[in-house]
């Protein structure tokens, strides 16, 4: 009996040696200087909510759009003056003010970003499969992107894209082709030549410590949480800015092939960082720990859904009476939102409100908190 116990103990020690040393890796203070490149139609609004909540709960400064703007200069390349309070006034202005968190839409421009973000900032972004990303963009920006307006469907657009798409139409067409590549600061109309693509991918690798994958959002949150040394509740989130099933239209198989050819740069980008994402997951977690942490994340989300949400399900945004919780509706998309359970106590209500507040309303609230002396942000779609 004693020999068996000794053998079990020895095996346990050896097994522990081969498991990732998770506690040692996540020890230390939480990371609080963060730059998130918010790409379009990639579940990035949900990530933005996570960052806004963390900033508000920890009294961190956020690089917010100046004046009446809601984006940091997008679709133009980012410059520091797009951030409220970044540039010092006076005859002898000093260097731009720096902030803890930057996460609003911008077109990446590293030298200007570095002016307002401290050294040692953690840079990360998120990507989505180009087929579903393009389909979502077509629905959402149908009335905004010149290339999409005259097309009856995305399949029709992809049958002859150059009939609709004109690069000279301006930056509004950035949503219509290789938009993730464009968001990274690159030319969305560049030929997908191997040397050019490899050089740009290497640039992204050097700057961004982590690139998440929207199709594996929960796994992405597990990895992000470990990198940032945050608590579980810091990365638990409800899906925001998502469309109802009735406004999701799947491409035909031929349409999917055409989409990958049309957005070849985004396809190369996605393939590369999907590989690096899973390599990092394997190196840092392993399959067993990954499953356990994903299950823990999902269980906590379900508890919060039961606690916070009426019927636990999202609703059509147009049906939401509270203007502070009503999401912006764009193009042909039916953007979903949430209704909170009645009777929540004050602390629970504050927690739940933060989790379901759409990005424009949350940005406006943070702006008023950070700059109480400035006129508040106007949100035109809530004024009608």
Q: What value does the mean pLDDT take over residues 264-272? A: 98
Residue 71 belongs to domain spanning:
30-382
Instruction: Label residue 135 exposed, middle or buried (CB < 10 Å: 0-12, 13-18, 19+).
Output: buried
Q: Which two tokens stand for residue 221?
A: 């949150």
The per-residue pLDDT for 94 is: 78
- Does any domain span residue 12? no
Q: Which of left, alpha, beta for 67 (phi over 0: left; psi -120 to 50: alpha)?
A: left
- Does any domain span residue 246? yes
CATH number reported for the structural domain that contains residue 221 in this entry: 3.40.50
Q: Choose from 15-29, 122-136, 305-319 the range with maximum mean pLDDT.
A: 122-136
Residues 122 and 208 sit within 8 Å (Cβ to Cβ): no
Nearest to 245 by CA among 109, 336, 359: 336
Q: How many domains does the chain have?
A: 1
- Does any domain span residue 78? yes
- For 47-92, write each residue's pLDDT tens digit: 999 999 999 999 999 999 999 999 999 999 999 999 999 987 766 6
- CA dihedral (44, 49, 50, 52) positive or negative: positive
The per-residue pLDDT for 90 is: 64
- Does any domain span residue 18? no
131 C-beta neighbours (distance < 10 Å), count: 21
- Does any domain span residue 290? yes
- Does any domain span residue 303? yes
Q: What value does the mean pLDDT take over residues 232-253? A: 91
- The confidence band for 15, taking pLDDT boundaries of 50, 70 and 90, is very low
- pTM exceeds 0.95: no
- The confidence band for 319, taking pLDDT boundaries of 50, 70 and 90, is confident
Q: What value does the mean pLDDT take over residues 137-166? A: 94
Say if residue 25's pLDDT is above 60.
no
- Does any domain span residue 20? no
Nearest to 33 by CA among 106, 119, 96, 126: 119
Q: Are strands 122-127 and 210-213 parallel, antiparallel or unpaired?
A: parallel
Q: Are strands 101-102 and 34-37 parallel, antiparallel or unpaired?
A: parallel
- Does any domain span residue 354? yes
**Gyration radius (Cα) of the chain, Å:** 22
Say if residue 295's pLDDT is above 90.
yes
């Amino acid at each position: 009996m004693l020999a068996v116990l000794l053998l079990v103990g020895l095996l346990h020690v050896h097994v522990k040696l081969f498991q990732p040393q998770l506690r040692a890796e996540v020890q230390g203070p939480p990371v609080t200087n963060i730059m998130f490149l918010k790409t379009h139609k990639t579940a990035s609004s949900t990530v933005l909510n996570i960052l806004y909540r963390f900033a508000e709960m920890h009294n961190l400064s956020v690089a917010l759009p100046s004046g009446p703007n809601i984006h940091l200069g997008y679709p133009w390349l980012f410059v520091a003056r797009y951030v409220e309070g970044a540039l010092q006034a006076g005859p002898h202005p000093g260097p731009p003010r720096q902030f803890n968190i930057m996460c609003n839409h911008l077109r990446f421009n590293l030298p200007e970003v570095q002016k307002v973000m401290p050294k040692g900032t953690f840079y990360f972004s998120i990507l989505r499969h180009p087929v579903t990303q393009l389909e979502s963009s077509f629905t959402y920006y149908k009335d905004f992107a010149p290339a999409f307006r005259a097309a009856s469907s995305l399949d029709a657009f992809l049958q002859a894209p150059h009939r609709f798409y004109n690069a000279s139409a301006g930056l509004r067409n950035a949503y219509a082709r290789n938009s993730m590549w464009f968001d990274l600061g690159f030319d969305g109309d560049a030929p997908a030549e191997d040397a050019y693509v490899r050089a740009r991918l290497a640039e992204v690798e050097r700057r961004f410590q982590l690139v998440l994958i929207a199709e594996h959002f929960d796994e992405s949150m597990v990895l992000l949480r470990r990198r940032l040394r945050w608590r579980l509740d810091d990365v638990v989130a409800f899906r925001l800015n998502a469309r109802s099933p009735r406004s999701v239209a799947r491409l035909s198989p031929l349409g999917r092939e055409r989409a990958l050819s049309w957005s070849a740069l985004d396809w190369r980008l996605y393939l590369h960082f999907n590989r690096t994402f899973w390599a990092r997951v394997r190196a840092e977690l392993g399959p067993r720990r990954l499953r356990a942490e994903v299950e823990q994340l999902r269980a906590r989300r379900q508890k919060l859904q039961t606690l916070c949400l009426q019927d636990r399900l999202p609703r059509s945004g147009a049906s939401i009476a509270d203007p502070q919780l009503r999401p912006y509706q764009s193009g042909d998309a039916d953007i979903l939102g949430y209704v909170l359970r009645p009777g929540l106590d004050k602390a629970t209500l504050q927690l739940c409100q933060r989790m379901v507040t759409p990005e424009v309303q949350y940005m406006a609230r943070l702006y008023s908190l950070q700059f109480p002396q400035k006129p508040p942000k106007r949100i035109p779609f809530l004024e009608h």
